[in-house]
Amino acid sequence: MLEHLHIRNFAIIDTIELDLRPGFTTISGETGAGKSIMVDALAFLLGARAERNWVRKGSRGAEIVGDFDITNNPPALAWLQENQLEEDQRCLLRRSLLAAGGSRAWINGRPVTLGQLQSLASHLISIHGQHEHQHLMEPVQQRQLLDHWGNSEAQTAVVADLYNDWKKCKTKLQQIIDTPAADPQYLQLIRYQIDELKREALNTEQYQQLSSEHERLAHADDLQQGLANALSDLNNENSGANTRLQASVTNLQPLLELDLDLATEIREVHAMLTEAAINIEESQAGLRNILGQCDSDPQRLVQLDQQLSQQHSLARKHQVEPDQLQQQLVVLKQRVSELSQNDQLRQQFETKLETGLKKFRQQATKLSSQRRKTAEFISNKATELLETLGFNGALINIEVATDKQAEPRSHGQDTIRILVRTNPGQAQGLLQKIASGGELSRISLAIQLATRQMDTKQSSMAGITQVYDEVDAGIGGDTANRVGQMLSELARDGQVLCVTHLAQVAARANTHYLVHKSSDDETTNVSVVELKQAQRVEEIARMLSGKLSASSRKHAQELLVG
The pLDDT, as a whole number, for residue 32 is 77
Q: What's the Rg (C-alpha) of the chain?
A: 42
Asked if 367 and 414 touch (Cβ cutoff 8 Å), the reply is yes
First-last CA distance in the chain: 27
pLDDT tens digits, 33-82: 788 888 889 999 999 888 878 999 888 999 999 999 998 888 899 899 99
Poorest-confidence range of 236-250, 352-366, 436-450, 544-558? 236-250
pTM here is: 0.58
pLDDT tens digits, 300-340: 767 777 888 888 888 888 888 888 888 888 888 888 877 77
Best CA proximity match to 150, nearest among 444, 451, 457, 417: 451
Residues of the chain with CATH 3.40.50.300: 1-124+464-526
More confident residue, 441 or 204: 204
In angstroms, the CA 91 to CA 73 distance is 11
Contacts of range 224-227, beta carbons closer than 8 Å, 24 or more positions apart = 224/291, 224/294, 224/296, 227/287, 227/290, 227/291, 227/294
Best CA proximity match to 10, nearest among 24, 32, 43, 21: 43
What stretch of H or E contains 35?
A: helix 35-45
Total count of residues recorded for the chain? 562
Query: Would you say residue 207 has pLDDT above 90?
Result: no
In angstroms, the CA 348 to CA 342 distance is 10
The pLDDT, as a whole number, for residue 458 is 46
In angstroms, the CA 435 to CA 442 distance is 10
The pLDDT, as a whole number, for residue 220 is 62
pLDDT tens digits, 399-450: 999 999 989 999 999 999 999 988 887 888 888 787 666 677 778 778 877 8
pLDDT tens digits, 175-197: 888 875 556 777 788 888 889 88
Helix or strand or coil: residue 556?
Answer: helix
Best CA proximity match to 41, nearest among 122, 143, 127: 127
Fold of 1-124+464-526: Rossmann fold (3.40.50)
Asked if 506 and 543 touch (Cβ cutoff 8 Å), the reply is yes
The pLDDT, as a whole number, for residue 462 is 57
Best CA proximity match to 284, nearest among 227, 366, 344: 227
H helices present in 179-297, as ranges: 184-200, 204-218, 220-235, 241-252, 263-292
What stretch of H or E contains 20?
A: none
Question: What is the chain's mean pLDDT, rounded?
Answer: 83
Share of the chain above pLDDT 70, in %: 85
Confidence of residue 260 (pLDDT cuts 50, 70, 90): low
Query: Residue 375: left if φ>0, alpha if ψ -120 to 50, beta else—which one?
Result: alpha
Query: Would you say residue 285 has pLDDT above 80?
Result: no
- Report the amino acid identity of residue 460: S
The pLDDT, as a whole number, for residue 459 is 47
In angstroms, the CA 332 to CA 310 distance is 19
Strand partners for 469: 499
What stretch of H or E contains 296?
A: none
Confidence of residue 265 (pLDDT cuts 50, 70, 90): confident
In angstroms, the CA 264 to CA 256 distance is 8
More confident residue, 523 or 257: 523
More confident residue, 336 or 467: 467
pLDDT tens digits, 77-111: 989 999 999 888 889 999 999 988 889 999 999 99
